Amino acid sequence: MTYTTKDYKNYLGELKKIKEFDWVKNHLHLNKIPNFWTILEFGEEKEYGKRSAHEIRTSRMLRWLIDANETHNLGNVFAHKIMDYIGIDYPYHPEKNNMIKATAEEMDIDVFYKDYSQQMCLAIELKQYAKEGKYEDDTTQLDKYQTLVTDLIKDADNPIQPYYIYLTPQKDDPSNKTWHSMGYQELINIIEDVLTEHVESSTCIYAADTKKIITDFKYDLQRSMDYTAMKNNKINTLLTDEEKKLTSILAEEIEHETNSKHLNQLIELGQGDDIELKELILITNKHIYTQDHSPNDRIRLLIRKIYNYLSADNQLDTSDLINYSKKDSTTPIKQQLKDQYGLTVNNIQITGGKGQGLYLLDENEEFQIYLSGESNGDFPNDYIHLLPIQNKDRKRLDAKHVPNRKFNLNDDFINENIIHHRKEEKTITFDQLMTEHVMVAIKELNDQGITSL
């Protein structure tokens, strides 16, 4: 499409409105501040929401903060203030204490803090983008972790009082009411108090280093809050379909440094900060396609229908979308399909958690094929692609037969086995989706996987 000067001016006007969102202001401001956490993530994050490694680092950083014996030399001040937040009188001691132990990922609990001198322990479960896990027997992760802590106390034969905190960016309510809800903003407030009351006046020769580390962590928590705020703003309602297309074109020009004819037009008309304009466009583009990462039942249903189509014996429930573990959902592919398409992929396996993705596993464990849907209803959301397992030097392969986000399930027609083309005014049946699109893409990747071994 050809865009006129008027189109570019209107688009700049919408970008100015977007720039006034609080979370966008924070994002633009924080991007100007050197931060070790963003360096760690440089080039790593492919899609908003896929930050499991980042979540692990966050839990380990929190463990470092609350451990009185760590190199920050702040004693148990963070544990003291966190306990005060949930209404528990836990005395502050500035010195190290070998009766205090803090661990990360113990018993799968993100942070586990024990103070035997005070006969207490604290379990902190951290969620950044994923939702709390639920099992087939209707118990949750929090139920499981509480049971593990209770059993640990029984085995220790020590009158230890347990406490529980569920820490999320937006202070989500925990399923188990024994757990106290805590948001990132509350943790940021505690960090700011510690910086003002303890770090600024510290005589430790490493106080400046400690201040920088803790401040960087505070900024990263703010970034995580801003990411989760994405789904609550109005970018999608501000932009027309043509402006969304222009955003995608501009983002492509910025990311790949291709011919920048559209970007140059905007820069000339905008007469502002080129770097900030580019960042604003990238934020906008990311939001358009990643605005909501809560589970999408239509996508989950589609993935289960695809699974059942491929499965030789096991069938997943499509009426009650209970969670399945990877182990429980691993099953062979129909031999008829293997023969018909010449496949070496042998088993299929649904992803854990939301169950919005599906793996096809090569019989020689050389590669796996992956397909998934997005929480906004798009399918596929990251192409149907092949990933090498054994040879990490081999590159990921994307199926050319099915363009990314070709289909969308933004209605309930999937219940009737009807799927919409995302950009075309037509529908297809589920069988057409499988025979004309998905299976052809799987065969394409399977053949490429074999030839590239």
Verify that 312 and 281 share a domain, yes or no: no
12: in domain: yes
Percent of the chain with pLDDT over 90: 41
**Angstrom distance (rounded) from CA 97 to CA 305:** 56
Give CA angle at 204 (198, 210), nearest 5°: 65
Verify that 308 and 418 share a domain, yes or no: yes
**Angstrom distance (rounded) from CA 286 to CA 368:** 27
- The pLDDT value recorded for residue 44 is 46
Query: What is the C-alpha radius of gyration for the chain, rounded to an integer number of angstroms?
Result: 25
- The pLDDT value recorded for residue 178 is 95
Q: Which residue has the higher pLDDT, 443 or 33?
A: 443
Verify that 279 and 313 share a domain, yes or no: no
31: in domain: no
pLDDT tens digits, residue range 337-365?
999 999 999 999 998 766 788 999 988 87
Query: 425 lies in which domain range?
Result: 297-451
Verify that 130 and 241 share a domain, yes or no: no
For the chain, the helix, strand and coil percentages under 3-state DSSP, each to the nearest 5: 45, 15, 35
Q: Name the domain count of the chain.
A: 3
28: in domain: no
Q: Which residue has the higher pLDDT, 104 or 261?
A: 104
- The pLDDT value recorded for residue 268 is 81
CB of 118 closer than 8 Å to CB of 112: no
Which of 200, 229, 258 is at the close of a domain?
A: 229
Tell me what the mean pLDDT of segment 287-303 comes to: 71
265: in domain: yes
285-289 contacts, C-beta under 8 A, 24 or more apart: 285/247, 285/248, 285/250, 285/251, 286/48, 286/230, 287/230, 287/233, 287/235, 287/236, 288/235, 288/236, 288/239, 288/244, 288/247, 288/248, 289/374, 289/376, 289/378, 289/405
Give CA angle at 227 (109, 24), nearest 5°: 150
- The pLDDT value recorded for residue 197 is 94
CB of 415 closer than 8 Å to CB of 301: yes
Return the closest-CA partner of residue 190 out of 349, 83, 111.
Answer: 83
Tell me what the mean pLDDT of segment 39-59 comes to: 58
Verify that 351 and 336 share a domain, yes or no: yes
Q: Give Cβ neighbours of residue 407 (< 8 Å, ≥ 6 apart).
A: 378, 379, 380, 419, 420, 421, 422, 433
Q: Which residue has the higher pLDDT, 422 or 278?
A: 278
Task: Categorize the per-residue pLDDT at 328 as very low, low, confident or very high, splitting at 50, 70 and 90.
Answer: confident
Verify that 369 and 242 share a domain, yes or no: no
Verify that 119 and 265 share a domain, yes or no: no
15: in domain: yes
HSE, CB side, 13 Å, CA atoms: give it for residue 223.
23
**Angstrom distance (rounded) from CA 386 to CA 208:** 46
Verify that 266 and 409 share a domain, yes or no: no
pLDDT tens digits, residue range 73-119?
999 999 999 999 999 999 999 999 999 999 988 888 999 999 999 99
**Angstrom distance (rounded) from CA 378 to CA 332:** 27
70: in domain: yes
Verify that 169 and 50 share a domain, yes or no: yes
CB of 109 closer than 8 Å to CB of 125: yes
Verify that 238 and 220 share a domain, yes or no: no
Q: How many CB atoms lie within 10 A of CB 418?
A: 16
Which of 244, 260, 289 is at the close of a domain?
A: 289
Pick from 154-163, 172-181, 291-300: least confident: 291-300
**Angstrom distance (rounded) from CA 397 to CA 383:** 9
Return the closest-CA partner of residue 46 out of 385, 445, 273.
Answer: 385
**Angstrom distance (rounded) from CA 434 to CA 443:** 12
26: in domain: no
pLDDT tens digits, residue range 185-207?
999 999 999 999 999 988 889 99
Q: Give Cβ neighbours of residue 413 (< 8 Å, ≥ 6 apart).
A: 419, 420, 427
Report if pTM > 0.85.
no
Beta strand pairing call for 385-388 and 397-398: antiparallel
Verify that 16 and 67 share a domain, yes or no: no
Verify that 70 and 132 share a domain, yes or no: yes
- The pLDDT value recorded for residue 320 is 78
**Angstrom distance (rounded) from CA 10 to CA 107:** 54
**Angstrom distance (rounded) from CA 88 to CA 144:** 23
Q: How many CB atoms lie within 10 A of CB 122?
A: 25
How buried is residue 120: exposed, middle or buried, by Cβ count under 10 Å (0-12/13-18/19+)? middle
How buried is residue 41: exposed, middle or buried, by Cβ count under 10 Å (0-12/13-18/19+)? middle
Q: Give Cβ neighbours of residue 143 (< 8 Å, ≥ 6 apart).
A: 175, 176
407-408 sheet: strands from edge to edge = 378-379, 407-408, 418-421, 427-429
Which of 229, 248, 275 is at the close of a domain?
A: 229
Q: With a cut of 80, say whether residue 279 has pLDDT above it.
A: yes
Q: Which residue has the higher pLDDT, 226 or 138?
A: 226
Tell me what the mean pLDDT of segment 234-241 comes to: 74
**Angstrom distance (rounded) from CA 111 to CA 78:** 13
350: in domain: yes
